[in-house]
Amino acid sequence: MGTRAGGRRTGPKCIAIVGPFASGKTTLLEAILARTGAIPRQNPVSSGNTVSDHSPEARAHAMSVEATFATTDFMGEQLTFVDCPGSIEFAFEAEPVLAACDLAVVVAEADEKKIPALQLIMRKLDDLAIPRILFLNKVDKATAGVRETLKMLQPASSVPLLLRQIPVRKDGIVIGSIDLALERAYIYREYAESEVAEIPGDDKARELEARFSMLETLADHDDHLMEQLLEEIEPPKDAIFDDLSADLRAGAVTPVLIGTAEKGNGVLRLLKAIRHDAPDVEATRKRLGAPDGQTVVQVMKTIHTAHGGKLSVSRVLSGQLADAAELFLSNGDTAKVSGIYRMLGKDQSKLTSAKAGDTVALGKLDNVKTGQTLSSAKGGIRPLVTLEPPQPVFAFALRPKERKDEVKMSAAIQRLAEEDPSLSLRHNQDSAETVLSGHGEMHLRVVRERLEGKNQIPIEGHAPAVPYRETIRKGAQQRGRHKKQSGGHGQFGDVVIEIKPLPRGSGFQFSDTITGGVVPKTYIQSVETGIRDYLKTGPLGFPVVDVAVNLSDGSYHAVDSSDMAFQMAAKLAMKEGMAACSPVLLEPIMKVEIVTPSDATSKIIALIPQRRGQILGYDARPDWPGWDVVEATMPQAEIGDLIIELRSATAGVASYKAAFDHMAELTGRLADEAMNANGKAA
């Protein structure tokens, strides 16, 4: 089953700390850094002095909003931990991080409401084939037994949750743990190493039962161990450790350790499990398909610092990396390293070089983006990671309060988008708005706070304009004559047009039935140009669609007619004719696909009609036990803040995709409100 790592050095490791929102990830990292001597003491999150969550936005909202890197040393080995945000709104931060990590520590607690969030995280680890350990946190506050808790959490994991420790209780309070592999008890001491003790007599039977259950699970992947269990032969401890390590690395099981990060309890056992059992960079390199025999670097995150410029936090997958080294991207571009740094939250310490396994920040790789792969091979190598941000679910239009800040704002947003590739920025031609899109209201609130705080750019923001259109219900015929005389050549254009409605989605069609040259061919194009120009803003104030216009008659003057005169005549005819065609407002209707935990499906179905939506149906989400997919159509005007209500109904985990479906007539009060708002905007 492989060789136990034991005391041998296996090179630097990189471990992601993941888990649902408020499960204690930042607290666990703080406890790890204190236990390994990287920081003098463990600070509570409430102090605002933790290594992670060091940004003003994280502290203001008491939540992780970005991945934080911290490197420490434990028993002669270098470990880099990455604290990843737990909120689904910032979940994409973990994507480029996880890909280059050796192991994930999943922080969870005995809270049934957080199981869907845990399932999202476990599914992502499955997709990326990342081995994981589950750290069951806050055991001092849990009311249910550990094995009952694991039964509750198991549906979130596609592989068995393998209990490696059970709690020791005194008067109903958890005072320590029993390691089922070592058959040894550890009595907790607050912020200090646990005291090794004999297994209490009252707990011996419970320990034997839990240990046998652990061995049974391991035996599913080890025939020799299965034979030993059947013959009631006690397997050697080294063989058990070999199986634990091999099954973890193969992704066959998820070992579960217990503790209370807030008090530093269970941290040392977790660190030893990581040191002994976690795969190293060689396994990660093979998983990613990185070539050997050259320097390969995977970029995990981009940071723009206030004084040090751009940093690309990266994992060296193979080879050696020296300062001033030249690296190549897959597109053939080159990047020269200008500084190598070890990370401890917001602090960096300079290094002269980095080796395989190291996670370091590389300075001033200006043309390098998060997720890219760099190599010492000229011409680069194929990218090892493909980043595909999920579809944005929340947006706002923004502009600086002062026009002089427009260029500054654009540059600042570009830097923020480099740091967070899940941000999307576009310019809406119809509304002349700059629209920023992301993954929730808090996600974009943090972006705005960074623009106003870090970049000192006061911002105005509002909901993006809905792309309303207008059309007509009936046809009309109209003459338009433009005649002007003011010295020299005059202006003369005369047209007769027929306006007719078209089926929904037809757009605009132009034709002419001119005979006898009453409108010369050279001016027919001018008539179409004038009509198209008018259609940009119809009588209701919006672009006109699904209209056919035929030029049927007209007249011209040999001297005074011109291209511009016929454009003006066409616009006049359209302006007067459209008013007689019963113009009506159209609003975009979207096809919406909502994913939700099944226990919240009824809530989701109830809120859809409240937003003028129509339910098309719902069904179980394929290969996602306990989840449903709800399909509906809904006006785009109702989708703007939909995600806030969806998340509120599902403990923060629901999401949706939306795509344009069709245009539908909008009348009455809502149409009046849309036209009034458009008038004000104009």
**What is the mean pLDDT of the segment spanning 663-676?**
95
Query: 286 in helix, strand or coil?
Result: helix
What residues does CATH 3.30.70.240 cover in the chain?
585-681
Does position 41 have pLDDT exceeding 50, yes or no? yes
- What's the rounded Cα separation, in Å, for the pair 4 and 242? 5
Question: Looking at domain 470-581, does it have CATH number 3.30.230.10?
Answer: yes
**How many Å apart are CA 600 and CA 651, to the nearest integer?**
9
pLDDT band at 439 (very low <50, low <70, confident <90, very high): very high
pLDDT score recorded for residue 3: 37
Say whether pLDDT at 503 is over 60: yes
State yes or no: pLDDT of 139 exceeds 50.
Answer: yes
Higher pLDDT, 429 or 407: 407
pLDDT grade, residue 9 (50/70/90)? low
Residue 489 has a pLDDT of: 74
Distance CA 118, CA 141 (A): 19
Q: For position 680, what pLDDT does the model report?
A: 44
Give the pLDDT score at 275.
95
Question: What CA–CA distance (Å, rounded) separates 526 from 105?
Answer: 68
Q: pLDDT tens across 164-209, in order?
A: 999 999 988 999 999 999 999 999 999 999 999 999 998 999 999 9
pLDDT confidence of residue 252: 96
- CB burial of 167-192 (b: ≥16 within 10 Å; e: otherwise) equals bbeeeeebbbbbbbbbeebbebeeee
Q: Indicate the pLDDT class of residue 70, thresholds 50, 70 and 90.
A: very high
Taking the alpha carbons at both ends of the chain, their separation in whole angstroms is: 72
pTM recorded for the entire structure: 0.92
Domain 292-365 belongs in CATH node 3.40.50.720 = no
Nearest Cα to Cα of residue 556 among 596, 582, 522, 530:
522
Cite the residue boundaries of each domain of the chain with CATH code 2.40.30.10: 292-365
Element (H, E) at 495: strand 491-501
Residue 487 — very low, low, confident or very high, per pLDDT cuts 50/70/90?
low
Q: Mention every residue, 6+ apart, whose C-beta is less than 8 A from residue 395.
A: 435, 436, 437, 438, 444, 463, 464, 640
CATH architecture assignment, domain 13-279: 3-Layer(aba) Sandwich (3.40)
Residue 651 vs residue 308, higher pLDDT: 651
663-675 mean pLDDT: 95
Residue-wise pLDDT tens digits, 218-267: 999 999 999 999 999 999 999 999 999 999 999 999 999 999 999 999 99
Would you say residue 4 has pLDDT above 50?
no
Distance CA 115, CA 31 (A): 24
> Which residues belong to CATH 3.30.70.870 in the chain?
394-462
Farthest CA pair distance, the chain: 115
Domain 394-462 has CATH 3.30.70.870: yes
Cβ 499 vs Cβ 547: under 8 Å: yes
Strand partners, 617: 631
Tell me what pLDDT residue 639 has: 97
pLDDT, mean of residues 380-402: 94
SS3 annotation, 146-175: HHHHHHHHHHHCCCCEEECEEEEEECCEEE
* Residues 24, 264: Cα–Cα separation, whole Å: 12
Stretch (H or E) spanning 310: strand 309-318
CA distance 267 to 164: 14
Residue 82 pLDDT greater than 70, yes or no: yes
Fold of 585-681: Alpha-Beta Plaits (3.30.70)
88-138 confidence digits (pLDDT tens): 999 999 999 999 999 999 999 999 999 999 999 999 999 999 999 999 999
| Whether the predicted pLDDT of 2 surpasses 50 | no
Answer yes or no: is pLDDT of 6 > 60.
no
- Mean pLDDT of the region 648-654: 96
CA 607 to CA 566: how far, in whole Å? 52
